[in-house]
Amino acid sequence: MKSLITFASISIFATIVTSQNSTYKRGLTDHFIQFLNLNKNYYPYNFNRTEFFGGSFGGKDNDTQPINKVPVVFVHGAADMVIGEEWANDGFRYDIEYFLQNGYTKAELYGSMWGFADLAGEYNLKHDTEYVIAIRRFLEAVLDYTGAAKIDVISHSMGVALSRAAIKGGKYLLRDIGYINLKPINKNVRTYIGIAGLSYGALVCTEAFYYDNFLGCNKFNGYYPGVLDKYNKVVNVSEFLNNLNKDKTKEGDQAYAILSLFDSPKTYNDKYNSAFPTMDMAFIFNSSEYDHVGVRDKTQEFQLRLLNSYHPSEIQETEFMFMTKSQGPKNVQDDEENEEEKQGNFLE
C-alpha cells in the first residue's frame, strides 16, 4: 500500500539529540578491516576512509561477538561524511549515537563515506557510477561480513538516489569502461528508509546560471528536473533519475520516505520530491525544526520504530494526519503506466 502521511504532532517523535559520546570510536574495527583486506571485491575501495575523521563506522571486535539485530547501513548525502563532528559533516552521527544507546552495537551499524566531503564543490556532484558501485560493494561487504540474510538501509539527501541505484541495480555508464549491469540486491534489504531525497531533480537546475555552471545539473546523471511540455507533463528529466524512477524494483521488503514540508520538498506539479515511486509510505513532518538535516537528525526514534516494531495498523490517527488524495503528490508525469495503480493506492 502506498500512502502519504503527515505528522500532525511533532512532540511524540522528538528525540534527545545527545552530544558527542566519547565511549564509541569512529572508523571500522580492525576485525572488519582484516576481513575487507582479504577480499579483492572490497579492498580496492578503502572503506575505512581514514583520511577523514568521520569517514566510516562499524565492525565486530572479534569472531565471537554476536550480531543480534538486522545490521543497518547508513548512506550519507552530498559532501557529507558518515559520522563527522560538525553541522556540515555530521552525517548519521546522531542516528549512530541514538542507536548505540538503544540496543545496537558497533557490529550492527555500518557506514563508509562516498565522495570527499567537498562542500565547496557540492553543486558539481553528480550521480557518478563510481559512487553507486562503491555503495553497492559496501552493502555487499556488510552482508558478507555479518552473515546476515538482510540488512536495513537508511539514506539521506543525495545518498537516497545513490543507494536506491546501488540496491535496484540496472545499467550504468562507468567512465573509461562502458556500460555495466548490476543485478538487484533488494531481496537482501529488509527495510529501506530514504530521508529528504531528491527523486525528481532540482528545479533550480532549469535556471541558466545553474545549468551552465554546475555539473550537478546535467541531464545525464545530474539533478536536471526536466521541463513541462505543453500538456503539463514533465519531460527530459535527468536520465539517471528517470531510469531509477522507472525501475519497479522495490528497495527492500519495506520502503519508506521521510520528508519535511520545511525542506523545500516540492517539484513540478506540486509533487513531493522526496517521495519515490516504489515506496510503501512517505512520512511527512510539518514543523520548522525539521529542515533538510533536522528531518534526519531529529527522527531517530521514529526510524528505529520503522525498522524494528512498525506495523501500518499501529498508526494512530492521533499521531498522524493522513494526506487526502487531493493533497497528495501528482503522479510521476513521465511514467504514465504507473499512474492508475498509484492513484488508487493513496489513502483517503
Ligand X SMILES: *[C@@H]1O[C@H](CO)[C@@H](O)[C@H](O)[C@H]1NC(C)=O
Residues at the contact surface with ligand X, assessed by CB under 6 A: 6, 18, 21, 23-24, 26-28, 33, 48, 50, 61-62, 64-65, 100-101, 227, 229, 235-236, 261, 286, 321, 327
Cα separation, 333 vs 82, in Å, equals: 34
The closest residue (CB) to ligand X is: 27
Q: How far is the CB of 259 from ligand X (least distance, A)?
A: 11
In the bound state with ligand X, the residue whose beta carbon lies nearer, of 188 and 260, is: 260
> For the stretch 113-129, what's the b/e string if a residue is b when 16 or more beta carbons lie within 10 angstroms of its beta carbon?
bbbebeeeebbbbbbbb
In the bound state with ligand X, the residue whose beta carbon lies nearer, of 6 and 269, is: 6
Q: How far is the CB of 342 from ligand X (least distance, A)?
A: 19
Strands (E), 163-317: 170-174, 178-182, 189-195, 227-228, 234-235, 254-260, 266-267, 271-272, 281-285
Cα separation, 56 vs 120, in Å, equals: 21
In the bound state with ligand X, the residue whose beta carbon lies nearer, of 21 and 343, is: 21
In the bound state with ligand X, the residue whose beta carbon lies nearer, of 99 and 192, is: 99
- Coil vs helix vs strand at 235: strand
Q: How far is the CB of 328 from ligand X (least distance, A)?
A: 10
In the bound state with ligand X, the residue whose beta carbon lies nearer, of 93 and 164, is: 93
In the bound state with ligand X, the residue whose beta carbon lies nearer, of 327 and 343, is: 327
Q: How far is the CB of 253 from ligand X (least distance, A)?
A: 27
Q: How far is the CB of 293 from ligand X (least distance, A)?
A: 20
Q: How far is the CB of 181 from ligand X (least distance, A)?
A: 25
In the bound state with ligand X, the residue whose beta carbon lies nearer, of 24 and 210, is: 24
Please say whether the beta carbons of 109 and 93 come within 8 A. no
Cα separation, 302 vs 258, in Å, equals: 10
Q: How far is the CB of 80 from ligand X (least distance, A)?
A: 17
Q: How far is the CB of 128 from ligand X (least distance, A)?
A: 22
Q: Kindly tell me the sign of the dihedral angle through the C-alpha atoms of 244, 303, 196, 6.
A: positive
Please spell the DSSP secondary structure of 132-194, one letter per residue: HHHHHHHHHHHHHHH--S-EEEEEETHHHHHHHHHHH-EEEEETTTEEEEE---GGGEEEEEE
C-alpha cell at 63: 569472531
In what helix (H) or strand (E) does residue 37 lie, and over which residues does it extend? helix 30-37
In the bound state with ligand X, the residue whose beta carbon lies nearer, of 63 and 337, is: 63
Phi, psi of 120 (to 5 degrees): -65, -30
In what helix (H) or strand (E) does residue 100 lie, and over which residues does it extend? helix 93-101
